[in-house]
Structure 1
Amino acid sequence: MTVAVKTPWHLWVVGGVSLLWNAIGAFDYVMTKIENPDYLATFTPEQQAWFASFPVWANVGWALGVWGSVLGSILLLVRSRHAVAALLISLVGLGVSCIYQFGLHYGDLMRIFGTFPMIFTAVIWVILIALFVYARKQSAAGVLR
């Protein structure tokens, strides 16, 4: 026998706000990948070259991070337990991306962009870990099915 669990109000808030937040990352990813000239004009030529130079494995990490988060937010909103897996995949993707950017090319990153990527990536880590923990708790409570 399955007991119906009422959807808590905060699931809609967390899911909605996280989807909006992750849509920003998706927009950045798409505009960068399709090489939108208006979007890329906000970056210096050296910064544009930095993004274009990512090897395939770093691009895969970036894609998993972005799209795993978007999917995780959508799955939260539809109350799917698979939100946990999607957010875990996003964490792995973020980790891969960070290995490339901060582990292998930290000096170049700092020279080209300054400290902003380090600060912004720390914020992304905190938000993504919080979303993952939240999804796990909601799954364990039977809210996500």
Structure 2
Amino acid sequence: MTTLNKPNKGFWIISIIALLWNLMGVNQYLQQAYMTDSFKAMYNEEQLKMIADSPSWATAAFAVAVFAGAIGSLLLLLRKKIAKTVLLLSLIGIAVQMFYNFFIIDSMAIYGPGAVAMPIMIIGVALFLIWYTDYSNKKGWLN
């Protein structure tokens, strides 16, 4: 029988921020998938063509990354151990997406050196959330 400990306030703050962060990713994916006017306003024609020409596997990796991230964060907020597995799936989606962006299309050539900052932050947050979920489990906060 597993005894659950009451999480501290930091757990709730981190879990809520994680969910909001990943929901922003879901929003970005949906804007890209539906090519909303606000999405198109952020990019030039060359960038929009590159996005439109993305292979389905790269788009699927983006979807897996953001939806698994959001679901994993929700599961963390609900104090479920399976959150770690779902967040690992998100990290795999991120890795596939980043492979495409940096090694197949050379996004730095299209977006410039600034194209590195956001991916580093995304990977960093994903790794932190996996670590934090494991930490929370060891503290007895997850069931």
Give unpaired runs (5+ residues) of structure 1. Answer: none
RMSD: 1.3
Secondary structure in 2 matching 1:143: coil
The Cα offsets for residues 93-113 of structure 1, whole Å up to 9 and x where unpaired, read as: 00000111112122xx12221
Q: TM-score, normalised by structure 1?
A: 0.92
- What fraction of aligned residue pairs are identical, expressed as a percent? 29
| Superposition misfits of 4+ residues, deviation over 6 angstroms | none
Is the Cα–Cα contact under 8 Å of residues 15 and 77 in structure 2 kept in the other structure?
yes
| 3-state DSSP of counterpart to 1:6 | coil
Q: Deviations over 1:25-76 (max 9, x none)?
A: 1111101101112321221111111111111111111111111111111111
Distance 1:100 1:39 in 2: 20
> For residue 91 of structure 1, what is the aligned residue in structure 2?
91
Give the alignment's TM-score, normalised by structure 2: 0.93
Alignment match, 2:52: 52
Name the CA distance, whole Å, in 1 between partners of 2:85 and 2:2.
23
Q: Give unmatched runs, 5+ long, in structure 2.
A: none
**Mapped partners of 1:129, 1:38: distance in 2:** 30
**1:112 alignment partner AA:** I
Tell me the equivalent position of 2:139.
141
Task: Please state if 1:67 is matched with 2:49.
Answer: no
Amino acid at match of 1:113: Y
Spell out the pairing of 1:1-145 with structure 2 (5 A cutoff): 1-106=1-106, 109-145=107-143
Higher relative contact order (CA 8 A, sep 6+): 2
Give the number of aligned pairs.
143
